[in-house]
């Protein structure tokens, strides 16, 4: 079991955090063959998963693709961009677009990494963004970009 699976905090949301449920593109929904009723429209070609009440804690909402017993994602190989990039996030403020990272208290994997390990991890994220043409994805689906979150650290500005 890796750090992420041991943490068991991803994919769960307090009721006042429901707005932050993962976003999916229409194509991502088609790939997983999900019922469109599981989503609400957020923008052009972008949909947000409707969270469900946790079986374990009635004060928590969870992604319906989370197996709460194993804490594994039922669609992990085809999870959406929003989930693939966590704990990183593309955000906008005015006309600026940034890659940010949630502060260490929000994600165990970033909390446990030394500064050197985090820099290597960050470098691999930048490579992944370039290799997977993420800037093109964001141009095609600008509604995948979140409003700037206060609980993040800005890492890089993009000219998209």
DSSP 3-state assignment of 92? strand
pLDDT > 90 fraction of the chain, expressed in percent and rounded: 60
Asked if residue 7 has pLDDT above 80, the reply is no
Q: E-strand spans in 17-135?
A: 23-25, 39-43, 46-49, 52-53, 60-62, 66-67, 72-73, 88-93, 96-102
Of 82 and 5, more confident: 82
pLDDT higher than 60, residue 1: no
User: According to the model, what pLDDT value does residue 110 have?
Assistant: 74
Backbone conformation region of residue 8, classed left if phi is above 0, alpha if psi is from -120 to 50, else beta? left
Please give the distance of CA 78 from its chain centroid, rounded to a whole number: 13
Mean pLDDT of 66-70: 91
Please report the pLDDT score of residue 149 as a whole number: 87
Structure tokens, 84: 């693939």
Specify the pLDDT at position 35. Answer: 94
pLDDT at 8: 59
Q: 18: closest CA among 76, 74, 60?
A: 60
């Amino acid at each position: 079991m890796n750090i992420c699976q041991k943490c068991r905090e991803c994919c769960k949301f307090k009721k006042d955090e429901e707005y932050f449920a993962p976003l999916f593109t229409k194509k991502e929904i088609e790939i997983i063959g999900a019922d469109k009723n599981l989503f609400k429209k957020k923008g052009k070609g972008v949909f947000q998963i409707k969270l469900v009440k946790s079986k374990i804690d009635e004060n928590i909402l969870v992604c319906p693709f989370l197996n709460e017993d194993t804490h594994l994602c039922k669609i992990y190989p085809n999870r959406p961009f929003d989930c693939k990039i966590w704990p990183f996030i593309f955000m906008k403020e005015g006309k600026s677009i940034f890659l940010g990272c949630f502060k260490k208290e929000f994600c165990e994997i970033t909390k446990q990494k030394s500064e050197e390990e985090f820099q290597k991890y960050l470098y691999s994220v930048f490579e992944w963004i370039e290799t997977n043409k993420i800037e093109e994805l964001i141009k095609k689906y600008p509604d995948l970009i979140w409003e700037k979150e206060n609980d993040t650290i800005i890492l890089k500005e993009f000219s998209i």
